[in-house]
Structure 1
Amino acid sequence: MANLTTTASATHRPRLKGVVFDMDGTLTVPVIDFAAMYKAVLGDDEYRRIKAESPSGIDILHHIENWSPERQQKAYETIADHERRGLDRLQIMPGATELCGFLDSKNIRRGLITRNVKAAVDLFHERFGMTFCPALSREFRPYKPDPAPLLHICSAWEVLPGEVMMVGDSLKDDVVCGKQAGAFTCLLDETGRYDFPEYANVNLKPDFKVSSLTEVYSLLNDRFDLAP
């Protein structure tokens, strides 16, 4: 994993034709209390057990896939309720608007992959006046960390995964999705939580790590060929 401050030694810089973003916690300020949501779905004891087994994070959507239809429906309703409450407090992440303007100025495509629902994506587009295309929500299956959504976007853009960067705040979802697809990956870690020892031995690590979206400007300029 390379930090933004590391200077590239190679003279050849890879061509970048598109950037795909996560939404919650990446393009928007984190507003969902995921721990509370997981506890509401799983119960306190099950939450603690799964969290101890999965230090990189709980994949709640995959976890409930094999539940009975009735129990699964109740879980989806609980998740949707927490997400709706988050929408009321939706805020754009600092630096997101400027970064998207920069990408537009370089004719670099921008897409979006989220495990949130389409209604949340539609509200994001409407509220902040920016559009990502394609913008894949939870209704697209399989969802992150499966590489299928990112490969779908690459196919729609008619570009190779190695010409695309995935930017997100989740090691287990965004980075794994990007790495498995063969794309570059950039982990947004505002608080430094991924510097803790439990994340040191994960199998798939990001190519780059930044603490804010504003740092992505330098990363793109220093490491990639952005010529149209």
Structure 2
Amino acid sequence: MNDVVGGLNLDEDALILASQLSPLGQVKCSAVLKEVEEKVLREISLNPGVVSVLRYCNEVNLNAAVVTRNIEKVTERLVDLVGITRSDGSFVLDPMLARNSVNTKTGEVIRAKPNPDALIMVCETWGLEVGEVVMVGDSLEDDVQAAGRAGCRSLLIDTGFDNSTGNKRSDVGSGVMYEPDWTVSEFADVLGVLKENGL
């Protein structure tokens, strides 16, 4: 049963809940989210295996991007943490799209995952068909569903920690629930999947 308070479904994603608040409520919610995200910025660290995977991508000239529901400041922090640049001096992760990133063609904020817009934009940026791209992520509801909706393959890092909302979010919907093409238990295992599948 869903928890409903003041007409708001508390099982919803925080970003959806925030959009349903009054203007004053949205301002207050934004302040809380900003405080949480500032804490994330102070405490952020890379999962074991991330640098190895990105070094491999760099060595074999494999495109890599970031699509996150966090703010752009988090993606900027990744540049410092990863520290890998390509031979032309560009950062190995490009593009890096956050929930407040703007689509340069439309001027509109890119809708957050599980909406597929950011993944489609990444494919267009790279000049690749969606079927040529693999979304790697740790959320069945955000990452895998965004990939499925875009037409991309997906690799789920299933850490055993359920970071979803139990399939109750309205933006996931009651239609098709996409399953990942591959599942691993930690980020370090991503490298094996890439190599084994010629990616």
Contact 1:192–1:211 (8 Å) recurs in 2 = no
Gaps of 5+ in 2: 85-90, 102-109, 168-173
| Aligned residues with identical type, % of pairs | 29
Pairing partner for 2:126 from 151, 154, 157: 157
Pairing partner for 2:142 from 162, 173, 177: 173
Pairing partner for 1:65 from 6, 19, 29: 19
Note if 1:136 corresponds to 2:89.
no
1:192 Cα deviation after fit: 5.9
Q: What is the rounded CA distance, in whole Å, between the counterparts of 1:101 and 1:68 in structure 2? A: 46
Question: Residue type of the partner of 1:216?
Answer: V
Structure 2 counterparts to residues 22-171 of structure 1, below 5 A: 46=5, 50-51=10-11, 58-130=12-84, 131=91, 132-140=93-101, 141-171=110-140
Question: Residue type of the partner of 1:168?
Answer: G
SS at match of 1:206: coil
Q: What is the rounded CA distance, in whole Å, between the counterparts of 1:189 and 1:111 in structure 2? A: 20
Question: Residue type of the partner of 1:205?
Answer: E
1:188 Cα deviation after fit: 0.8
Q: What is the match of residue 204 of structure 1?
A: 178
**Residue 137 to residue 101, structure 1, CA distance change in 2 (3 Å):** same
Q: CA RMSD in A?
A: 2.3
Q: What is the rounded CA distance, in whole Å, between the counterparts of 1:222 and 1:127 in structure 2? A: 27
- CA offsets 1:11-69 (integer angstroms, 9 cap, x no match): xxxxxxxxxxxxxxxxxxxxxxxxxxxxxxxxx975xx633xxxxxx421122212211
Q: What is the rounded CA distance, in whole Å, between the counterparts of 1:176 and 1:66 in structure 2? A: 23
1:221 Cα deviation after fit: 2.1
Contact 1:165–1:184 (8 Å) recurs in 2 = yes
Instruction: Give me the TM-score of the superposition, normalised by structure 2.
Output: 0.78
Gaps of 5+ in 1: 1-43, 52-57
SS at match of 2:43: coil
Instruction: Give the structure, 1 or 2, with the largest relative contact order (CA under 8 Å, sep 6 or more).
Output: 1
Question: Which of structure 1's runs of 4+ aligned residues deviate more than 3 A?
Answer: none
Question: Normalized per residue, which structure has more helix?
Answer: 1
Instruction: Give me the TM-score of the superposition, normalised by structure 1.
Output: 0.68
- CA offsets 1:90-110 (integer angstroms, 9 cap, x no match): 111100000101111111100
